[in-house]
Structure 1
Amino acid sequence: MRPLVGSALVAGVLVLTGCGSSGSSGSSAAKLAVKSAYMPQPVTDSMAAGFLVIENDGGTADELTSVTSDIAQDVTVHETTGQSMKEASALKVPAGGRLVLQSGGNHLMFENLKRKPKEGETVSLRLNFTKSEAITVEMPVKSATYQPTSGH
């Protein structure tokens, strides 16, 4: 009978240890916030770009996997390397870091616009992530030549 009691004790300790470790990992989850969002007023009737910064104050990395908006049929995430731009399936939001979507770099493309937004309006979009809850962003439409002074 003694070996059975010892086994039960070891199993109990392992269960408690497992519970303790899973609780501590929750405190290091990704903590995402969106800043400096804007859309330059589109110059065409069918496409627009979007820029923003996603900050992660948490201890776990995440990924931006998709974006939706009621203003466009499709919103795609584009990755820019040198002079080359390609659609990306996801972009990393590093733990304790940020993902910057900016003119000339990684960015959002709003394709097949349902209407052309004008300067002063706001465009609503939903950012979807691998681990974190989706974030809804109200993105102001700026002039076509707008250049942010900070944040990007």
Structure 2
Amino acid sequence: MKKVISLALSLVLIVAVMFSASAQTTERKGWSPQAKGAVIGAATGGAAGAIIHKRNRVVGGVVGGVVGGAAGYGIGKAIDNKKKKEEAARIAAANRAAAANRAASARSVASTRRSASAPANTNALVATQPAVASNANSMALLASNGFLPNPDFGDTDKPYHTSEYRRKSW
């Protein structure tokens, strides 16, 4: 029993030294989620393997450490991928909003130029296009395509806070 306690305490001490050493240096970026998961998983798995395997605790600790480290690395990789997806979605939403603002300003400049210039050819055979769609028409277009604007975009307390549009549910 004393060996198990001393093994567990030594593993906790090693992990504490590793984390304190990385906290003291300011030039390093820090640990990746994969590394954190692997270290925590290996320490937990090693301790659990040593406790579970009664006949040969060293073998149990090694096997448990390897399995725990692999599982921790996998969990850390999934967390890192999730963060990267959220960051990419945030950047894409910002780019879409900037493009929409540029398009709106270009439309307003074009409409002011049209209204200030002389009227175009009024020949009946020439088809004219509307200068700028009204807000009601654009809402109808969005609704007919199956998208609804999301007024709660960015508010994390509301559902669908990560997308600018909500799909129709019917």
- Please give the TM-score of this superposition, normalised by the length of structure 2: 0.28
Larger CA Rg, structure 1 vs 2: 2
- Please give the TM-score of this superposition, normalised by the length of structure 1: 0.30
- Name the structure where helix makes up a greater proportion of residues: 2
Report which structure shows greater RCO (CA 8 Å, sep ≥6). Answer: 1
- Name the structure where strand makes up a greater proportion of residues: 1
